[in-house]
Structure 1
Amino acid sequence: MPKFVITGASGAGKSTLIAALAAQGYATVPEAGRQIVAEQVARQGSALPWLDQAAFMDLLFARSIAAFDHTASTAEGCVFFDRSFLEAIAYGAVIARPAPEAMLQAAHERRFANPVFVCPPWREIFAQDRERQHDFRFARTDYAANIETYAAAGYELVEVPRAAVSERVAFIQQRLGDLSGRQPSNPAGKR
């Protein structure tokens, strides 16, 4: 079962793209970071990027690893992840907290399929909200760290064009078809 990850800048349409892929019948895994922030805010916790960055990084990594491992035993067909545990490692670079060796080892033992799909910074659709309190400048910094981390881990990076979500889905499906040497299959027979 190939596991693909969609990474890139925050506010660049990754979650919208993941939702569109799910609507096409693909298995998807939502972004752990936004879930963590929503949970922490709801219970007035401190593992938040604007309160306790180290605790947020650790929780993000643990939750992302658990999602990867759980999906390995339950999903059929290809799966798309909205970000991954590698983002936690990249976040460590952003906050000047090197990833612990155990984190690096756990990430090394788990691999996504190539390519990694990258949503570049997209100013026109970027928006702050309750879970995304940082600005576009930070989104660009985070993006650069993510790209560097995936490249250093040996992944092939493919940039998803800034286009309508239907075009982005078609781009990914075409790329999957190119990988398999045939036209991409529609997993649920949807159009």
Structure 2
Amino acid sequence: MPKFVITGASGGGKSTLIKSLSAAGYTCAPEAGRQIVAEQLASNGTALPWADKAAFMNLLFARSIAAFDQIAETAGQSVFFDRSFIEAIAYGEVIGRQPPRFMLEAVAERRFDNPVFVCPPWEAIFARDAERRHDFNFAIRDYEANLAAYSAAGYDLLEIPRASIAERRAFVINMLG
């Protein structure tokens, strides 16, 4: 079963694209980071990217690995992930924290198919909200770290054009062959 990841900048349209692919019948895994932030806010937890950054990184990694491992085999249909455990490695770079050896080993053991689809920074659609408190400049730093982490893990990166959601979905589907 082909497994693809959609990465890129915060507020670059990844989640909207994932929802569109899901509506088109593809199996999709939602972004773990937003789920974690929502849960932590609801429970007064501290594993937040603006509070306990290391705890957030560790929880992000664990949740993303679990999502990868739990995707059921489908009849050869492509599966799309809204970000992945590699984002936790990239986040570690942004906050100045080296990933533990077990994280690097897990990245080597679990592989996505190429290409990794990339939503570039897009200031016109970037918006802050209760779960995304950082500014556009941080989104760019995070984006650059994500690209570096995926490249270091041996993935080919393919930028998705800034276009309507229908055009972006068609672009991704057409790239699948």
TM-score range, shorter chain: over 0.9
Q: How many residues align?
A: 176
Q: Distance in 2 between matches of 1:17 and 1:152?
A: 25
The Cα offsets for residues 27-63 of structure 1, whole Å up to 9 and x where unpaired, read as: 0000000000000000000000010000000000000
- Within 5 Å, which residues of 2 pair with 1:144-155? 144-155=144-155
Match of 2:123 in 1: 123
Query: Aligned-pair distance for 1:132?
Result: 0.2
Q: Distance in 2 between matches of 1:148 and 1:100?
A: 18
2:15 is aligned with 1:15: yes
Query: Aligned-pair distance for 1:75?
Result: 3.8
Match of 2:133 in 1: 133
Given that residues 90 and 149 in structure 2 are in contact (C-alpha distance below 8 angstroms), is that contact kept between their aligned partners in structure 1?
yes
SS at match of 2:10: coil
Partner AA of 2:96 in structure 1: A
Query: Aligned-pair distance for 1:70?
Result: 0.4
SS at match of 2:5: strand
2:49 is aligned with 1:49: yes
Runs of 4+ in 1 over 4 A off after TM superposition: none
Q: Distance in 2 between matches of 1:35 and 1:114?
A: 26
Query: Aligned-pair distance for 1:18?
Result: 0.2
**Structure 2 stretches lacking a partner, 5+ long:** none
Partner AA of 1:48 in structure 2: L
Query: 1:75–1:67: structure 2 CA closer, same or farther, 3 Å change rule?
Result: farther
Match of 1:180 in 2: none
What TM-score do you get using the length of structure 2 for normalisation? 0.98
Q: Distance in 1 between matches of 2:6 and 2:63?
A: 17
Match of 1:27 in 2: 27
2:65 is aligned with 1:65: yes
